[in-house]
Amino acid sequence: MFVDSHCHLADYAFDADRVAVIERARAAGVARLLCTGGGDKPDEFDSALPLAERHEWIYAAAGFHPHEAATLEERHFDRLREAVRRPKVVAIGEIGLDYHYDLPERDVQKRVLVHQFDIARETKLPVVIHCRDAWGDLEKIFQEQGPNLERAGILHCFSGTIEDAKHFMDRGFLISFAGNVTFKNAEALRAVARQIPLECLLTETDSPYLAPVPHRGKRNEPARVREVTRALAGLRGMREEEFAERVARNFAEFFQIR
């Protein structure tokens, strides 16, 4: 029973063979999958939601990625409010801050993030956070906004330090690792993964991005969450099946899924 807690099944990269990708995920043993809106284009969740509604084992998150921040108008947030009230939407995301290229402007990203925290508060949904080179500002915003949230969230595709992780785990967050934990130059990230409490861990692919070794550089897909699971289990000295069962329990308990 494997869990892909973050993928972009609605991405155009899957347009030619999406049905086959879903079938391969099931054949590989993926039992739960979170299809995330908030990728390369606004309103990606419009395509993600029908996928979740057609498959009992697929769930959806809806939100706006920080790269989209400069393109958003109030009508987009109104649509988001409507989308997150649908039963298969279990989180607001992915949302966050990305300073790697410093585009859009940081203040614009911050405003959009706070706006989506407001929607999370209104709907009592957890958040799925994207953070790249912006941990200080994310922690500062969460110190201000976090107490207003009914539920915590997930730090997806985690790339920070153990101190960053602890800051959010202390507030109820789960930490999700993707295929980059298998990369040759990711020893620091693997050291962090070894220190995360088992009850706070999730696995993901972030597909179609970040394919794990030995598929690095190719299109990723949910079936490859097994490689991520195997790598993390090895870091913990656990059997793959035992580790996968614990992650599946974390996912189900966090999202209150039976």
Structural domains present in the chain: 2-254 (3.20.20.140)
Would you state the pLDDT for residue 47? Answer: 85
Give me the pLDDT at residue 42, please. 57
Cα 187-96-10 angle, rounded to 5 deg: 90
Q: pLDDT value at position 210?
A: 98
DSSP classification of residue 3: E
| 155 contacts 176 by C-beta, under 8 angstroms | yes
Residue in 164, 234, 226 with CA at minimum distance from that of residue 25: 226
Can you give the pLDDT at residue 258? 79
User: What is the chain's mean pLDDT, rounded?
Assistant: 95
In this prediction, residue 53 carries a pLDDT of 95
Choose among 51, 123, 47, 127: nearest CA to 82: 123
Using CA atoms, how far residue 195 sits from 70, 199, 228, in Å, is 37, 11, 16
**Which 8-state DSSP code applies to residue 182?**
G
The pLDDT, as a whole number, for residue 45 is 80
For residue 82, which phi and psi values (nearest 5 degrees)?
A: -70, -45
Length of the chain: 258
For residues 162 and 137, what is the distance between their CA atoms, to the nearest angstrom? 17
Query: DSSP assignment of 41-107, as one string?
Result: STTTHHHHHHHHHH-TTEEEEE---GGGGGG--HHHHHHHHHHTTSTTEEEEEEEEEE-SS--S-HH
- Backbone φ, ψ for residue 65 (5° rounding): -65, 145
Could you tell me if residue 61 is left (phi over 0), alpha (psi between -120 and 50 degrees) or otherwise beta?
beta
pLDDT of residue 146: 85
Give the global pTM.
Answer: 0.95
* Dihedral sign, Cα of residue 154, residue 204, residue 193, residue 219: negative
User: pLDDT tens for residues 140-156?
Assistant: 999 998 888 889 999 99
Residues in the chain with pLDDT < 50?
A: 40
Rounded Cα distance, 25 and 73, in Å: 36
Ordered strands of the 30-36 beta sheet: 2-7, 30-36, 58-62, 89-98, 127-132, 153-155, 174-177, 201-203
The residue whose two tokens read 């220190």 is: 195
Residue 39: predicted pLDDT: 52
- 3-state SS string for 4-44: EEEECCCCHHHCCCHHHHHHHHHHCCEEEEEEECCCCCCCC
